[in-house]
Each structure stands twice: as C-alpha cells, then as structure tokens.
Chains A and B, each alone.
Chain A
Amino acid sequence: MLSVEGVAKTFVGRRPVEALRDVSLHVEAGDFVSIVGPSGCGKSTLFNLIAGIETPSSGRIAAGGETDADRRRLSCGYMFQKDLLFPWRSVLDNAALGLEVAGVCGRAEARSRARELLPRFGLEGFEGHRPAELSGGMRQRVALLRTLLLKRPLLLLDEPFASLDALTRRELQDWLRSTWRTGSEAALLVTHDVREAIYLSDRVYVMSPRPGSIVAEVAVPRGAGGSTGALAAAEVETAVLRALQIETAA
C-alpha cells in the first residue's frame, strides 16, 4: 500500500535544515499505522513527501503502486493539522469540496453524497451552518468527512485531534476507529499521544528528534474484537516511551 525507502529531506535555504534522515516504513492494505515522535522531528514533512507536495532529497516513495508525485497525490487522502475549513462555505459545501474539485460528479451530486454521511459524522442538522458556528470537535469531523468522501486508498491523518479536549478526543477516536474503513484501505496517523497511537493502530513507528528517523517499530497485539488488554497496552506503551527515551514512572 505504502512503502517509504531510505527517504531523506533537507530544506535548502539560507540556513539548510535537515528534517529527515533515512526514513523507511511500510503500510499494508488494511493496516492502521501510527507515527509518534517529538515536536519538530519532521512528521508533517514526511506526510508532505508521501502526499507528493514536496520532493524528497533522496529515497523512494510508492503509494498505491504510484511513484510519480502527481499521481501519488491523488491516491492520498490528507487531513492536515488544521481543519482548513473555508469560512464562506457551509458545513455541507466544505465536506463536498473534495468531490466538487475532483469533478467525478456534479456539484449537486457531491452535496447529496456528503449529506448522506452527515448523520454518521454526527453533523445531522448542521449542513447549513458555517464553520465559525461549530465547536472544535465538529470542525474536525467536517474536515475528516471532506477527506474520507474522496475515498482515496491511503489516509494520512496529521494530529487530527491535537487541539481537542480529552473527552471529545476519546469520542472522535472511537468514531474514527469505526469509520475510517468507509473509503480507504489503509491509514497512517501522526500523533503526540502515545495512548492514542496504541488505541487506534496495529503498529506504531517511533521517530527520533530532528533529523527524524525511525528508531523503533512496535506492534500492538489485538485480541478478539479488536481491543487490546490493559496489560498488553501498558507493555506497548512502555516500549514506545523507552524508544522515545522518556523516563517512565514504573
């Protein structure tokens, strides 16, 4: 589904910044994979490379079988750190933006496809509202709906819940776990929250401080029903935190 091989990125400029060094990772179809790492280690940069928005200094990226950056861009559903809703568009029109741009269907059809999914996204009755009238959690859900409606094979989620309070975040995590498969085959999530990574994913990659590289890959064991026991989760958390070189209390 996605393979990143020995990718490096240095931003050239007055003062060159080496953001990524020799990053390799793999995501198979059906996988939900997380990346955790300290702030500024190059996680968003990695996503921009995968999505074909920036070009790597070296290395190779293939997503959905595409290596060409322009075509790779269209196989990724990229949800940014910010919701980037357009304040002049209603909830419905914001959600339908991607479909409208893609031109796979007319504007009316795009809106009706978005409308169908509003209840599942907890946005029923809000289609006419403007983003400024929504809570932070609802805005994130609209942004997610805009991304998921495109049904791009690979989902890239860059800290989608970072700005939310703990309660709303938990609610959206539950809900993401049950919805992400609606249109996509695999998902890659960037987060600062180790527990969020463990709760949502099958595998966790740990990145080093800048220049970022992968320092550990930790599998999350899943019992029947897809949940992880408290003990197993604690073990995984310890392993991830150790890789991040954070002292744990236990």
Chain B
Amino acid sequence: MSASVAAEGSASARTGAWLAAVLPPALVLVGLFLIWEGYVALSGIDAVTLPAPSRVLESALRSRDVLGRNALVTLYETLAGLSVSIVLGIALALAIDAFAPARRALYPLLVGSQTIPLVVIAPLLVLWFGFDLTPKVVVVTLYTFFPITVAFASGLAATDREALTLMRTLGASRLQTLRLLKAPQALPYLFTGLRIAVTYAMVGAVFAEWSGAREGLGIYVLLMKNSFRTDLVFAAVFLIALLSLGLFFLVTAVERLLVRWR
C-alpha cells in the first residue's frame, strides 16, 4: 500500500525530496569553504602551506586539461578493478552459499586478505607487474571485492525459508531456485556492498599509482607535492572525491533501475 502511494508521488514532490537530500550537505560544504577562505585571508598563511579554496579552483581551471587526462586514467583503472571485483565477489559469494566446505575454507582467507597492509604490497606489485594497468587493478580489487562478496553472500543466506520451501514444492532445481528466488532477493544486498566498494575503489587506484605509475591522479598528486603546488594537490583531491561521489550515485541510479520493487 505504501508503494502505491509512492507511485502516485508527483514529479514536484520528488524534486522536493531530492533538494532536501542535497541541500543540507551543500550548505555545510559552502560554509566550510567560506571559513577556510576567511582564515587564509586573515592569517596571511602562505599558499604553499594552505592555499585558499578560490585559488585551488582557479589553478584547477587553468590545469583542467592535465587534470582531466590524469583523472581519466585513474577512472579507467578504478572501473577495471571494480569490474574484476564484481565478477570475483559474485563468484565467491555463490561458492560460499552453495557449499558449506567453501564457506569454511574461504571466509578465513577472505578476512585474512583484508588485513594485508597495502602499503607493503603495492610496491611489490609494481615490482612484479610493472608500471601498467595490472598492479592498479589488483590493488583496487583487493580493496573492493570483500564488501561485495560479504554483502551478496549474506543476501543469499537471508532468503526466506518458506519461500525456499515453496520452490521445493514447485519442483525447482537448485539452479532455478538461485535464478528465480535467491539471486533476485539478494540483489539489494549486492548493491549495498557495491556502494561501499565504489567509495573505496578510487582511493585504491590512487594509492597504487602512488607506488609507481606514468599517469593518473595518484602520481600527479605526488609530482605536484614535490614541486610545492599545494593548490593542485588540493584540486586533485577534490576531483577524486567528486569522481567517487559520481560513482556512488551511478550505483544508486542503477540500483533504482534494477531493484524497482523496493
């Protein structure tokens, strides 16, 4: 019944809800920038230590070509790593759900994989795989497959027992039960995991670049820091945040499209 009410919600009501969601954080952000700007102006702090936001924006616009080119590289690595993560995470979750021995064998290893200090492993990966795409994809995957696996596996496990019994009485095979019942009902869980994954993904890519890359926001940040362009370091950081936010909303939009019954 609540669904029918929601369906009747007019476009203006939806715009209102959207504004209510976006306006408060936007106002807080503007407030913070104003305080920052005021502090820099009043304290007379030098621009290498702390550039004013207006200066960051100005430099960003002037360097937009090179920022854009590097961002594209990082975005590409992020998406490649996420794709591997999604495939790997779904496969692992299915294995964990299907076989109790797999659950016992895999869970400790998965948790263990999350304790690997990436600071240590990233330079090694560069040593093994070079300066190209591979080490970045590996790091992004290590950062992101875990939430996807755990979320989807718990979604599959949360399937209503009576619904499973219904499928048995209908004579469904295991594969049919998975396809028609378990997978669709676990889909919202998968998206929850995916939302967590995309917030980490870009940071993973930047971090991998930091350890060795020819192009990308990570290596760009490092170069700018070394040449005392703090304004451009900030510009790159904001760009990373913005792109991560974009990925997050992309996932939410795809979820809206696929999980329409909620």
A 72-108 to B, binary, CB cutoff 8 A, 1 in contact else 0: 0110101010101011100000000110111000000
Which of B7, B167, B168, B172 touches A133 (beta carbons < 8 Å)?
A: B7
* Total A-B Cβ pairs within 8 A: 56
Given contacts A80-B162, A82-B162, contact A87 B261 (CB under 8 A): yes
Residue of A82, A98, A133 touching B170 (CB-CB under 8 A): A98
**Is B184 in contact with A86, judged by CB distance below 8 angstroms?**
yes
Nearest A residue to B4 via CB reads A133
Please provide the chain B residues from 181 to 207 with a CB less than 8 Å away from any CB of chain A in the complex. 181, 184-185, 187
The answer to the question of B111 belonging to the interface, with a C-beta cut-off of 8 Å to chain A, is: no
A191 to B127, CA, bound (A): 72
What are 11 contact pairs spanning A and B, CB under 8 A? Answer: A53-B169, A73-B171, A74-B171, A78-B166, A84-B163, A88-B261, A101-B167, A101-B180, A102-B170, A132-B1, A133-B4
Per CB-CB distance, the 6 closest pairs between chain A and chain B, nearest first, are A132-B3, A87-B261, A101-B170, A78-B169, A88-B261, A101-B172
Q: How far is the CB of B69 from chain A (nearest CB, A)?
A: 42
Q: B160 to nearest A CB, angstroms?
A: 8
Check if A132 sits within 8 Å of B169, measured CB to CB: no
A interface residues, tally (CB under 8 Å): 22
**B169 and A76 within 8 A (CB):** yes
| Least distance between A85 CB and chain B CB atoms (Å) | 9
Q: Shortest Cβ distance from A68 into chain B, in angstroms?
A: 13
User: Which chain A residues border B7 with CB–CB below 8 Å?
Assistant: 133
Contact indicator A53/B165 (Cβ below 8 Å): yes
Say whether B113 faces chain A, with CB atoms less than 8 Å apart: no
| B176 adjacent to chain A (CB < 8 Å) | yes
Are A150 and B162 in contact, with the CB atoms below 8 A?
no
Q: Which of B170, B176, B185, B261 has the most CB of A within 10 A?
A: B170
A132 contact set on B, CB distance < 8 A: 1-4, 261
Q: Are A130 and B172 in contact (CB under 8 A)?
A: no
CB pair B3–A130 under 8 Å, yes or no, is yes
List, in ascending order, chain B residues with CB within 8 A of A80's CB. Answer: 162, 165-166
In the complex the two chains form, what is the Cα distance from A50 to B98 in whole Å?
28
What B residues does A73 contact at CB under 8 A? 168-169, 171
In the assembled complex, A190 has its CB within 8 A of some CB on chain B: no
Which residue in chain B gives the minimum CB-CB distance to A98?
A: B170
Which residues of the partner chain A approach B165 to less than 8 Å between Cβ atoms? Answer: 48, 53, 80
Q: Which residues of A contact B185 (CB under 8 A)?
A: 86, 88
Q: How far is it, in angstroms, between the C-alpha of A194 and the C-alpha of B2 when the chains are bound? A: 34
Complex contact A133–B3 (CB within 8 A): yes
Given A87-B261, A97-B180, A132-B261, A150 and B170 contact (CB-CB distance below 8 Å): yes
A51 at the interface (CB under 8 A from B): yes
When distances are taken between beta carbons in the complex, the residues of chain B under 8 Å from A100 are 180
Q: Which of A84, A101, A133 contacts B171 (CB 8 A)?
A: A101
**Binary interface encoding of chain A residues 47-76 relative to chain B, with 1 for a CB under 8 A from any of its CBs, else 0:** 010010100000000000000000001101
Q: How far is the CA of A53 from the CA of B163 in the complex (A)?
A: 13
Residue of B whose beta carbon sits closest to that of A78: B169
Q: In the assembled complex, how far is the CB of residue A212 from the closest CB belonging to chain B, in whole angstroms? A: 20
Which of A210-243 touch B at CB < 8 Å? none
20 A-B pairs besides A73-B168, A97-B180, A102-B170 with CB distance below 8 A are A53-B165, A53-B168, A78-B169, A84-B160, A84-B162, A84-B163, A84-B166, A86-B181, A86-B184, A88-B184, A88-B260, A88-B261, A101-B167, A101-B176, A130-B3, A130-B261, A132-B2, A132-B4, A132-B261, A133-B4
- Are B169 and A51 in contact, with the CB atoms below 8 A? yes
Q: Tell me, in angstroms, the Cα distance from A78 to B261 when the chains sit together.
A: 26
Considering the chains assembled together, what is the distance between the CA atoms of A210 and B4 in angstroms?
A: 42
CB-CB < 8 A to B2: which residues of A?
132
Chain B residues whose C-beta falls within 8 Å of the C-beta of A51 in the assembled complex: 169
